[in-house]
């Protein structure tokens, strides 16, 4: 089977839309019916399905519906079989059904998180599998259009669980596309990533913040996304974003996440807070379908009805041609202005040329003069420094010689004085020595006699003392006699 599908015009198609009773799904169903397509509606609320079917049939459209929860694969497959019985099959399947949740991840119960993934992720998986099984058997093939979100590229606080589910949708869509290409199935798989849209999303989403919330500006009308979805039904587009601001922020986040994440953490929650409205816990549609009528838009104060980024993606040839014409026109204007002599363009060019702002020749001469002056100054300073060093050296040598001369003179004077003192005192000492010798000679004899007398007196005294002792030798000698 050929890998290239034949996508029919909308008026010849049968289109299945899930989540068809609110927001983008409702706008898609109405515009598809207006374009002449046969529309098969799928949603959880039977009352709203009946009302929408009657509304579109009253306008002459061929419409049918089936109540099904996209999280239930069996009921979704039964709805596809019903569409095949009534319309002979379908050419485009739009996976649009989804639920929302506002709240921090750690404050959201695991049951609520699983339920959100059951609808947002597994609903897309179930619908895509059912659609792929049907479309690959059709000779002309067909298209699967999955509605994701710009939050698949730009996670935000407070909507972390929702962003994670849309990130999973993006990964699944890209993987499914590659597998179908490998199998050469005639099926195109497109991913539409809207930014902030004017839908009842904030009223139908479970709100755990305790405050009124809304989508931050800029907000786009639902028909802008619906027109993009229907364009993908007739053109093989891989991925398309609705809303240039969201795309710009996502690109900034991808390029500089270290800077973007602190900014998102600081400002995103406050931007989503609705300060004009009081917190009203509506009956959310997380587990049960809402019953508040067919609401396509909620009418934000300012809504954009055109997305330049989406139009550029839809019409790349026209965009490239327009850019080429602009470039050619600018080149022609420059060329013609240059051929007509001095023109405003040349004057502007001369004015903005930095080389004309300064006289480079004079600046060069000034610079050379400054260099020469610096060189001469350096040479003069070097000469003065040499002179000063020589002068200081000579003065140092003179000072050393002077100190040396003074020291020699002092030593010579001290030695001379020492000799004089020694000579003088030597004579005196010799005189005293002679007198002492003479005195000793004169008294030598008298000293000898005195020494003899003293010796004799000492002997007599010792004998007397000895005789007084009982065992004295002196007494023994006396007795012996």
Is there a single domain that holds both residue 150 and residue 220?
yes
Does residue 160 lie in a domain region? yes
> Would you call 303 helix, strand, or coil by DSSP?
strand
Is there a single domain that holds both residue 366 and residue 243?
no
pLDDT of residue 124: 97
Is there a single domain that holds both residue 401 and residue 297?
no
pLDDT of residue 106: 93
* Cα dihedral: 359, 364, 367, 372 (round 10): -140
Q: Which residue in the block uniquely carries the two structure tokens 């002077």?
A: 402
pLDDT tens-digit map of 255-294: 999 999 999 999 888 888 887 777 776 678 889 888 777 8
Does residue 372 lie in a domain region? yes
% helix, strand, coil for the chain, step of 5: 60, 10, 25
Choose the catalytic residue: 121, 162, 220, 300: 162
Q: Is the dihedral of CA 215, 219, 225, 228 positive or negative?
A: negative
Is there a single domain that holds both residue 434 and residue 457?
no
Is there a single domain that holds both residue 421 and residue 481?
no
Smallest CA-to-CA distance from 284 within 201, 209, 213 is with 201
Provide the 10 A C-beta neighbour count for residue 186.
20
Does residue 256 lie in a domain region? yes
Number of folded domains in the chain?
3
Is there a single domain that holds both residue 408 and residue 473?
no
Is there a single domain that holds both residue 147 and residue 256?
yes
pLDDT of residue 224: 94
Under 8 Å between Cβ of 195 and 245: yes
Under 8 Å between Cβ of 222 and 26: yes
Does residue 335 lie in a domain region? no
Is there a single domain that holds both residue 231 and residue 367?
no
Does residue 345 lie in a domain region? no
pLDDT of residue 231: 96
How would DSSP label each residue in 2-41? -SS--PPPGGG-EEEEESTTBHHHHHHHHHHHHTT-EEEE
> Would you call 63 helix, strand, or coil by DSSP?
strand
d(CA 272, CA 100): 14
Is there a single domain that holds both residue 75 and residue 153?
yes
Does residue 55 lie in a domain region? yes
162 catalytic? Reply is yes
Pair type for strands 38-43 and 63-67: parallel
pLDDT of residue 284: 84
Does residue 190 lie in a domain region? yes
Does residue 258 lie in a domain region? yes
Is there a single domain that holds both residue 435 and residue 454?
no
pLDDT of residue 197: 92
Smallest CA-to-CA distance from 187 within 228, 233, 123 is with 233
pLDDT of residue 480: 44
The tens place of each residue's pLDDT in the chain, 481 residues long, gives 456 889 999 999 999 999 999 999 999 999 999 999 999 999 999 999 999 999 999 999 999 999 999 999 999 999 999 999 999 999 999 999 999 999 999 999 999 999 999 999 999 999 999 999 999 999 899 999 999 999 999 889 999 999 999 999 999 999 999 999 999 999 999 999 999 998 888 888 899 988 888 888 889 999 999 999 999 999 999 999 998 888 899 899 899 999 999 999 998 888 888 877 777 766 788 898 887 778 777 767 788 887 888 888 787 777 788 888 888 887 777 666 665 555 656 666 666 666 666 666 777 778 788 888 888 888 888 788 888 878 888 887 888 788 788 877 777 887 777 777 667 766 676 676 677 666 656 655 565 666 666 667 776 776 666 666 666 554 555 554 4
Is there a single domain that holds both residue 283 and residue 392?
no
pLDDT of residue 479: 52
Domain that holds residue 473: 448-481
Is there a single domain that holds both residue 121 and residue 230?
yes
């Amino acid at each position: 089977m050929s890998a290239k599908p034949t996508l029919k015009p909308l008026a010849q198609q049968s289109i299945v839309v899930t989540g068809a009773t609110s927001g983008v799904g409702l706008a898609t169903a109405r515009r598809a019916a207006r374009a002449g397509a046969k529309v098969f509606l799928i949603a959880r609320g039977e009352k709203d399905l009946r009302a929408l079917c009657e509304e579109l049939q009253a306008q002459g459209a061929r419409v049918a519906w089936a109540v099904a929860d996209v999280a239930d694969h069996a009921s979704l497959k039964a709805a596809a079989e019903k569409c095949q019985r009534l319309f002979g099959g379908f050419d485009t399947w739009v996976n649009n059904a989804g639920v929302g949740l506002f709240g921090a991840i750690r404050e959201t119960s695991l049951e609520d998180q699983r339920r959100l993934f059951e609808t947002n992720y597994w609903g897309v998986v179930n619908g895509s599998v059912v659609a792929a099984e049907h479309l690959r058997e059709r000779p002309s093939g067909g298209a699967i259009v999955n509605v994701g979100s710009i939050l698949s590229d730009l996670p935000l606080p407070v909507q972390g669980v929702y962003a994670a589910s849309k990130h999973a949708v993006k990964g699944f869509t890209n993987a499914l596309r590659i597998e179908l290409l490998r199998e050469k199935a005639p099926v195109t798989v497109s991913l539409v990533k809207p930014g902030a849209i004017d839908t009842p999303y904030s009223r139908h989403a479970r709100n755990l913040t305790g405050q009124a919330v809304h989508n931050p500006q800029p907000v786009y009308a639902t028909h802008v996304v619906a027109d993009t979805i229907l364009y993908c039904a007739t053109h093989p587009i891989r991925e398309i974003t609705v809303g240039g601001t969201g795309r710009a922020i996502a690109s900034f986040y991808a390029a500089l996440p270290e800077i973007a994440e602190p900014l998102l953490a600081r400002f995103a929650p406050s931007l989503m807070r609705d300060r004009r409205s009081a917190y009203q816990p509506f009956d959310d549609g997380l587990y049960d379908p809402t019953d508040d009528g067919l609401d396509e838009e909620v009418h934000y104060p300012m809504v954009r009805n055109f997305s330049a980024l989406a139009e550029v993606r839809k019409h790349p040839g026209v965009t490239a041609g327009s850019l080429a014409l602009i470039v050619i026109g600018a080149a022609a204007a420059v060329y013609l202005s240059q051929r007509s002599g001095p023109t405003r363009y040349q004057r502007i060019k001369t004015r903005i040329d930095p080389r004309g702002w300064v006289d480079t020749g004079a600046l060069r001469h000034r610079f050379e003069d400054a260099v020469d002056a610096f060189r001469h100054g350096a040479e003069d300073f070097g000469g003065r420094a040499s002179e000063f060093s020589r002068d200081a050296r000579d003065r140092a040598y003179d000072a050393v010689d002077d100190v040396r001369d003074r020291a020699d003179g002092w030593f010579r004077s001290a030695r001379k004085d020492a000799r004089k003192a020694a000579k003088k005192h030597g004579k005196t000492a010799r005189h005293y020595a002679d007198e002492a010798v003479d005195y000793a000679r004169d008294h030598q004899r008298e000293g000898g006699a005195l020494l003899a007398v003293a010796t004799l007196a000492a002997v007599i005294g010792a004998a007397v003392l000895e005789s007084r002792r009982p065992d004295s030798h002196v007494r023994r000698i006396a007795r012996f006699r």
